[in-house]
Amino acid sequence: MDIQTEMTAPPLSGGLDPAQAREAADAVRNAIYRATILLDSQKWDEWLALCDENFVYDIKAWSPEINYDMTYLHGSRKDLEALIRLLPKHNTDHSPLTRHTTVYTVDVADDGATAKTVSAFIVFQHLLDGTNSHIDSGESRLFLVGKYYDTFRIENGRALFTSRETRLENRRLDKGSHWPI
Amino acid sequence: MPARNHTQWMATPPLQKGEWVDSRVYTDQEIFDEELEKIFKKAWVPVCHESELPKAYDFRTTSIANEPIIVTRGPDNEVRAFLNVCPHRGMLIERRPSGSFYEGQPSGNPKRMTCMFHAWQFDMKGNCVYISREKEGYQDRLPKENVGLRRLRCEVKFGGFVWVNLDDNPISLEDWAGEPFQCLRKTLEAEPMEVFHYHKAIVDTNYKLWHDTNCEFYHDFMHYHNRVTGFNDAYFARKNESFEHGHIVVGTFEVNYDQYEGFESRAGLSFPHLPPNQWYMIDLFPGMNFNLRGSALRCDVVTPLGPNKVMIEFRGLGLKSDTPEERQTRINHHNSIWGPFGRNLHEDLIGVQGQGTTMRPGQEPRRILHGRQENQTIHDENGMRHYYDEWGKWMNRSPSNPELPYSAPAIAAE
Ligand code: FES
Ligand SMILES: [Fe+2]
């Protein structure tokens, strides 16, 4: 059900009552916004704490150039933990990223145990290194634009990410990034 | 030596000519313009892969040395290349990066390349087959037979890559790159491949600096991944072999992927005819790279945009016969290292951008050292020396002082 129906529609047979549906949707929405803030502040472990044990993460993009649905990054929760643990070993662009996320739709399943969402995001890169930090630092640039397709498990009023598909519109990615988006 | 004053900084290093280049080869606009004319308009460039235009009437657009190019597949299954320029008033014939001419366009018929401007139409062989109101405007003075497209040399080779040359009379592609491809030829030609990855980077650096990074492995010190999965005796014994025309090949060894946390061996999905977890690298003059890490092939193509600007297109390829599961595994293997969010590519791009920052038009010329001699093994810089010697010949300039004409280096470039 979309946000509209979640507010107004009567419960489906065997479904949630509107108050429960609203509560579940709120929990889901909060999880998405909390994830945005934690990713922005590079609190990777706290971000992963919002995710289920079976969490799967993907960065994908459709390429009209090669006519192929591409996967730029794929990882289980365990893969992401390793990736995050090894970040200090890698040489990474220091420019922080911040995301502007807007949750478009929240569909809570009839049993109230899972949910699916679609959110739009824009990621800005706030240049620190830039090309020449003397000139470029302090400038903000559009880095990525796309949509999050998230799924959740809802338990005791808490929403845990079970998957995140980050779908990019831009395929000119220049230096790219070592960080989850 | 302590930090140096200006005179010391500018002094000739205690190395032989050929063991360094002058940074003006990366920064000078005149040299850049000359490179497009003398090198890129005469070299074979792998502009795309045949799997990007799988069906008759599919097309792909690209460019070399500022010239827009269209590649099409005809109903006879032949892949051909043309300038993507209308012979009438110079409109770009096709604007999209890829697509099909099978369906009609707003200005034209199915199975035709149509210029949207005044609806001139061309078939897949580049013949002009229709001029709108031809007789009324040109009477008998300019028949459509005289206004075909400009066809370009084009071959599908070395694993299905589509090679284009702007020169009408180039060296044959076989003679150009057959030797360096020898080490992987059986592998790349065993069965059809398919592109599964594409992205591009535009970086403020010279195109040769990207190619240099692809040619030298000494920079494994900036890749944590390579240090833990690579550095062993077999790794340091890898040969850096030079071939005619400025190409180099880096020989293989067995990579220990499981030394990097979260990574797995790529043995299960080795390319045909290869032992497990091998890593071959073919670097072609003037800036194309084929990099096979066990289960996935990567291809980089540079498009120079200015002395201090380059576009790099990255492709990843697997076997067309892959099951969906195999394909996904190959993609993960490729992108965990080489994708835009992978471990190594980001580091490589930061590296060349940093060089681009210290080597911009107008900056004081510097010496860039290519003088490591290690018996032509992996951390020897013979690959770059070999490349710049070739560059010097094509440009008739001396890489160590580009104002002087070419002369052979003191130590023969291996
Ligand atoms: S410019 Fe192409 S038809 Fe006129
Ligand atoms: Fe590298």
What is the predicted pLDDT for the residue at A5?
A: 44
B401 domain-assigned: no
ipTM metric:
0.94
Minimum-distance ligand 1 atom for the alpha carbon of B118: 3
CA of B77 to the centre of ligand 1 (A): 27
* Least CB–CB distance from B349: residue in A61, A63, A175: A175
Is A124's pLDDT higher than 90?
Answer: yes
Ligand 1 binding site (Cβ under 6 Å of any ligand atom): B 86, 88-89, 91, 115, 117-118, 120
Is A1's pLDDT higher than 70?
Answer: no
What is the predicted pLDDT for the residue at B235?
A: 87
Q: Ligand 1, residues B70, B115, B134: which to mutate, most atoms within 8 A of Cβ?
A: B115
B146 and B218, same structural domain? no
The closest of B342, B358, B137 to B226, measured between CA atoms, is B342
The domain that holds B191 is classified in CATH as: 3.90.380.10
- Give the minimum alpha-carbon distance from A176 to chain B in angstroms, rounded to a whole number: 5
Report the residue count for chain A: 181
What is the predicted pLDDT for the residue at B257?
A: 85
User: In chain A, positions 103-142, which contact chain B (CB-CB < 8 Å)?
Assistant: 129, 131-132
Residues facing residue B293 across a β-bridge: B279, B296
What is the predicted pLDDT for the residue at B261?
A: 87
The closest residue, in CA terms, to atom 3 on ligand 1 is B118
B118 and B227, same structural domain? no
| φ/ψ bin of B91: left (φ > 0), alpha (ψ from -120 to 50), beta (otherwise) | beta
B21 domain-assigned: no
B201 and B270, same structural domain? yes
B228 and B117, same structural domain? no
* Least CB–CB distance from A73: residue in B97, B335, B347: B335
Contact B12, B371 (CB under 8 A): no
The domain that holds B81 is classified in CATH as: 2.102.10.10
Q: What is the mean pLDDT of residues A138-142?
A: 97
B323 and B190, same structural domain? yes
What is the predicted pLDDT for the residue at B412?
A: 61
- Reading the block at residue B23, the tokens are 């940074």
Place of tokens 């892969």: B49
Q: Which of B154, B169, B201 is the last residue of a domain?
A: B154
Contact B42, B34 (CB under 8 A): no
B332 and B264, same structural domain? yes
- Across chain B, how many H-helices and E-strands are there? 11, 19
CA distance B396 to B403: 10
Chunked in runs of 10, what are the mean pLDDT values of chain B (414 residues)? 92 92 98 98 98 98 98 98 98 98 94 97 98 97 97 98 98 98 96 97 98 94 90 88 96 85 87 90 97 94 98 98 96 96 97 97 95 95 97 98 91 59
B201 and B105, same structural domain? no
What would the pLDDT profile of B120-132 be if each residue is shown by its tens digit?
999 999 999 999 9
Question: CB distance from A64 to chain B under 8 Å?
Answer: yes
Burial (CB count within 10 angstroms: exposed 0-12, middle 13-18, buried 19+), residue B379: middle
What is the predicted pLDDT for the residue at A2?
A: 43
Residue A10 confidence class, pLDDT cut points 50, 70, 90: very low
Question: CB distance from A93 to chain B under 8 Å?
Answer: yes
B4 domain-assigned: no
| Residue B363: C-alpha distances to residues A129, B11, B28, B366, B401 (Å) | 20, 17, 10, 9, 15
B303 domain-assigned: yes
What would the pLDDT profile of B207-224 be if each residue is shown by its tens digit?
999 999 999 999 999 999
Minimum-distance ligand 1 atom for the alpha carbon of B120: 3
Residue A6 confidence class, pLDDT cut points 50, 70, 90: very low
Place of tokens 């809570």: A108
Amino acid at A63: S
B137 domain-assigned: yes
What is the predicted pLDDT for the residue at B413?
A: 55
B95 domain-assigned: yes
What would the pLDDT profile of A20-44 be if each residue is shown by its tens digit?
999 999 999 999 999 999 999 999 9
Structural domain count, chain B: 2
Range of the domain at B340: 184-395
* Least CB–CB distance from A90: residue in B195, B343, B349: B343
B168 domain-assigned: no
What is the predicted pLDDT for the residue at B414?
A: 56
B243 and B333, same structural domain? yes
What would the pLDDT profile of B137-184 be if each residue is shown by its tens digit?
999 999 999 999 999 999 999 999 999 999 999 999 999 999 999 999
Contact A146, A102 (CB under 8 A): no
What is the predicted pLDDT for the residue at A14?
A: 59
Would the CA dihedral through B217, B222, B223, B224 be positive or negative?
Answer: positive
What is the predicted pLDDT for the residue at B255?
A: 85
Third-level CATH fold of A17-168:
Nuclear Transport Factor 2; Chain: A, (3.10.450)
* DSSP code for B12: P
DSSP assignment of A24-85 equals: HHHHHHHHHHHHHHHHHTT-HHHHHTTEEEEEEEEEEEEETTTTEEEEEEEEEHHHHHHHHH
Residue A3 confidence class, pLDDT cut points 50, 70, 90: very low
| Residues with CB in 5 Å of ion ligand 2 | B 348
- Order of all β-strands in the sheet with B247-250: B193-203, B309-319, B296-306, B288-293, B279-284, B247-250, B240-243
Buried/exposed code over B307-332 (b: 16+ C-beta within 10 A; e: otherwise): bbbbbbbbbbbbbeebeeeebebbbb
Average model confidence (pLDDT) across chain A: 93
B262·A178 Cβ contact <8 A: no
B2 domain-assigned: no
Minimum-distance ligand 1 atom for the alpha carbon of B93: 2
Instruction: Please report the number of interchain residue pairs, chain A to chain B, with beta-carbon separation below 8 angstroms.
Output: 121
DSSP assignment of B308-347 equals: TEEEEEEEEEEETT--HHHHHHHHHHHHHHHSTTSTTHHH
